[in-house]
Amino acid sequence: MNQTYQKPIPEMQPWSKEYWKGTKQHKLLIQTCNECGAKIFYPRKFCPECWSKDLGWIEAKGTARVYSFTITRDMVEPKFMPDLPYVLAMVDLDEGIRMMTRIVECDHDKIRIGMDVEVVFEDISDDCALPMFRPIRSSQD
Amino acid sequence: MTIEKLSIIGIGEVPTRIMPERSRWDIIYDVCIEAVRDSGLDKNDIEGVISVAPQAQNQLSAEISFGKIPEELGLKGCRDVCICNAGGASTSNCLRLAEQWITSGVAKTVLIPHVTVHSTIPMDDLINFFALAGMDMQWEYPFGTTYNGVIAMGTRRYMYESKVTPEEMAAVVVSLRKWASLDPNSMFYQKPAPTVEAVLSSPLVSDPLHRREGNILADGGSAMVVTSSELAPQITKTPVYKLGEGAVYWGASPVLRDTKENKIQAKEAAKAAFDQAGITKEDIDIWNIYLAYPVGHPQIMEWLEVCEKGQAGKMFLEGHTWPGGKLPWSPIGDAVGRGHTGSGVSTATYVETARQLMGKAGERQVENAKYVFQNTSGGSGMNFIATIWGRELS
C-alpha cells in the first residue's frame, strides 16, 4: 500500500465494497444477477435489468480488448500531473462489460483499438486497488 | 382544439468575452432588460422567471434559486420564480417549464435568463468542478478522466469506425470559427478562422484532440422572453415558434454509453420532433447544433442523415457548412467558436435560433430562414434533445 497516495480514491457504496475487496486480492469481480443472469457494471444495489436484490459475483478472466484510448498530455488537475502523459482507456472484458481504466506498462505509440490487454492491479489504499490493463505480450508484437 | 405552442418573442445577449470586471448581476440586468425591450413588453408584463442554473457559481445559484431576479429588476407582475439544472440541457428545461406555466395559466409571459462568469471563479474550484461534472466518482474519476479525455476517446472511436480523417475533424473547427468571426457575440469576432493545418499543428491535449479542438472558458449571458403562440403575434411582429421536440436519455457515465444505440435513439428523438412539427429534414434551413467539441458535429450529421453516409467530414472540409454554404451549421460557432459559458452555450444557441428566424442575425443571417433544427445535451453527453423552430406555425 502506498501511504502517500494523493489521487482520488474511489467513493465506495455499501454494495460495491465486495468489488473493491476483490481488487485488494487482485481479483477482478463482476456483479451478476442470480435472477435474470445479467452481468452488471458498475455494481448496483438492485439489478438494473430486473430490480432483483439477489445479486452475486463472478471472477472475470481479466482479459479484454481496447475499445478506445487517449494519451492524456495536458490540462489535468494538479494531483494527476505527475502521471503525465498517461493513457486513459475504455476496455471490453471477455465477459461483455466495458470499463474505464488506464493502459500501463507499454510503449504508448503501440497501443491500438482492438489490442488484447490483461488486468494488472495498482494498490492505492488499505481498501482497494485500481484495475489497470497492460498489453498481452503476443498482441504487442 | 388547437394545441398551444411556445413562442420566443424577445432576446438579449452580452458578448461572450473574458470580462472579470463585469459582475454577474451587471450582466443579468443587461440581458434581461434587452430581452424584455426586444419583446416590446413592459417589465411588469413578465409573469414568471425561469433561470438557467449557473454551474460552479454556488452563491449566484442560491440567489437566483431563491427569487432574487424579479426583485432586483422590479418585475412587479411576477407570479413565480424557479431555476432549472440539467447542465447544458438546462435551457431546454426552462423552455419546457415555461410551456407548462403558460398552458396551465401560472404565467402568460416568462423570462429565461442565463449568466456565467468563469473568470472570477478561483482556479481550484473551476478545475474541481469540471473534473467532477459528468464523470463517475467511483468508476471513472480515480483513473484521471477529464472532459477532454472522455471526448478524445469518443473521437478516436468515431474516427476509427467512420474513417473520418484528422483533417476533416480539424475542418469542423475551421467551420465553427468561420461563423464565429462574423458574430459580434463571439470571443473570436473579427478574428480570422484558423486553417486546418493550424488546428492540427496546435499541441495535442489528449490524443487525438488538439488544443484548438477544445473550448476556452469564458464569461457571458443571454436571455429570452417567451409566451404562447396565441399571444405572440399580438405582442411582436417577429414571433418564433417551437414546433416540435423529441428527447432521449443516454446515461450519465461516459463509459456506459453505447454509440450504436445512441445513434438509433438520436434518430428516433429527431423523428419525434419532425413528426410533431409536420416537416422533414429537407425543410430545415439551419442546423443549429450544440455539442461543445468537434466530434459530435459530423456524428450528428450522419446519424440524422443530413448528408450521405461517410460524407460528414467532407461537408465541413469542403465548406458546405460555412457561412454562405448549402448547409448552414451552428451559426454561433458552438462552444468551440463562441467561448464556453457553461450551461449558457445552449441558451445562446436558442437565442441564435430565434435571432435567425426573427431575421436579426446580421452578417450571419441565413437568407429567408424559415425552419431551424436545434439540439442540446447535458453533462458529458447524458441526453439528446431535438427541437424544431419556425417563424410560422406549421
Closest approach of A43 to chain B, Cα-based (Å): 10
- Domain limits of chain B? 6-121+221-235
Whether A141 has a pLDDT exceeding 60, the answer reads no
Identify the residue with better confidence: A48 or B380. A48
Q: What pLDDT score was predicted for residue B35?
A: 98
Nearest to A77 among B131, B207, B211 (CB): B131
Closest approach of A35 to chain B, Cα-based (Å): 22
> For residue A97, what is the nearest residue in chain B, using CA coordinates?
B256
Say which residue the cell 481550484 belongs to: B124
**What residues in chain B have per-residue pLDDT under 70?**
1-3
A17 Cβ contact partners less than 8 Å away, ≥ 6 residues apart: A127
pLDDT band at A137 (very low <50, low <70, confident <90, very high): confident
B43 Cβ contact partners less than 8 Å away, ≥ 6 residues apart: B33, B36, B73, B74, B75, B76
Whether A123 has a pLDDT exceeding 90, the answer reads yes
Q: What pLDDT score was predicted for residue B124?
A: 79
Q: Which CATH superfamily is domain B6-121+221-235 in?
A: Thiolase/Chalcone synthase (3.40.47.10)
Nearest to A75 among B136, B148, B154 (CB): B148
Q: What pLDDT score was predicted for residue B1?
A: 41
Amino acid (1-letter code) at residue B120: T
Q: What pLDDT score was predicted for residue A2?
A: 54
Closest approach of B89 to chain A, Cα-based (Å): 25
Contact A71 B204 (CB under 8 A): yes
For chain A, the average pLDDT equals: 94
CB of B154 within 8 Å of a chain A CB? The answer is yes
Burial A98-137 (b: 16+ CB within 10 A, else e): bbbbbbbebeeeebebebbbbbbbeebeeebbbbbbebee
CA dihedral (A113, A117, A119, A122) positive or negative: negative
- Domain limits of chain A? 14-140
The stretch A112-134 carries a mean pLDDT of 97
Rounded CA gap, B358 and B336, in Å?
25
